[in-house]
Amino acid sequence: MRKRPNLKPRMERCGEVLIPDPAAVKGRWKTEFPGYDELRLEIGCGKGGFTAALAASEPEMLLLALEKSPDAMIKGMELVCSEGIGNVRFMDADALLLRDIFAPGEIGVIYINFCDPWPKSRDAKHRLTAPGFLRSYADILPLGGEIRFKTDNRPLFDWSLDALRSEGWEIRDLTNDLHKNGVCGIMTDYERKFHGMGIPINALTAVKTQATKCGADGVPERLRNAALSDARGAGL
């Protein structure tokens, strides 16, 4: 994505909440950011509305917000800075590189909200709930760690549910209409829009167990290498 001309100075003004080289912190996140009960990760934070609200509601945890579109992420950074929310850090990075950023067990909870459904079968490997990604998540979560997943897209949800079960995750809090009896939890901007249109929101929590698959058979090496090349080209 082409970056806007004023992006760099805006990022610099919010430098206190940006992790410029997240891979350099691998294995040391809790040492670098002491005093928090838990580290959590949001994959695809977009403009950061959910990010800011969640962090403000749970100041005892550190929320790490990952987004590969800096034009969107800067809006979240500016929101967090303007509201004085101190327990958020942003990363301009690709979810393909999670193993390069986090050591095993460093993250307690992963949030995946309204991700791209990649509807064509040939693109299924790009879905954030594809088996390759799920094994990356399993690598950085401890036993009992969670993925919290929400989407308006029922075909993606059903496909993801099958993938999670096949990969050995325990499924909890499954619903195909999260807000049926009133708003439940913190909404994303997309979620608020879809809920206003009467579109039901699908949600679940997936828990890592002894049966959960992890390890080297994760993200295809070709995709990971492409993401690494992009990161180096961006100076990350």
Q: How far is CA 205 from CA 146, 160, 175, 215, 226, in A?
A: 6, 12, 10, 21, 30
Q: Among 54, 85, 90, 57, which residue's Cα sits nearest to residue 187?
A: 54
CA dist., res. 179 & res. 94, Å (int): 30
- DSSP calls for 17-37: GB-S-GGGGTT-HHHHSTT-S
| Exposed / middle / buried, residue 167 (Cβ in 10 Å: 0-12, 13-18, 19+) | buried
Residue with tokens 């690494």: 228
| Exposed / middle / buried, residue 210 (Cβ in 10 Å: 0-12, 13-18, 19+) | exposed
Residue with tokens 């064509």: 120
Say whether 100 is catalytic: no
CA dist., res. 28 & res. 24, Å (int): 9
In sequence order, the β-bridge partners of residue 204 are 149
- Single out the catalytic residue among 21, 37, 116, 123: 116
Q: Which residues are catalytic?
A: 116
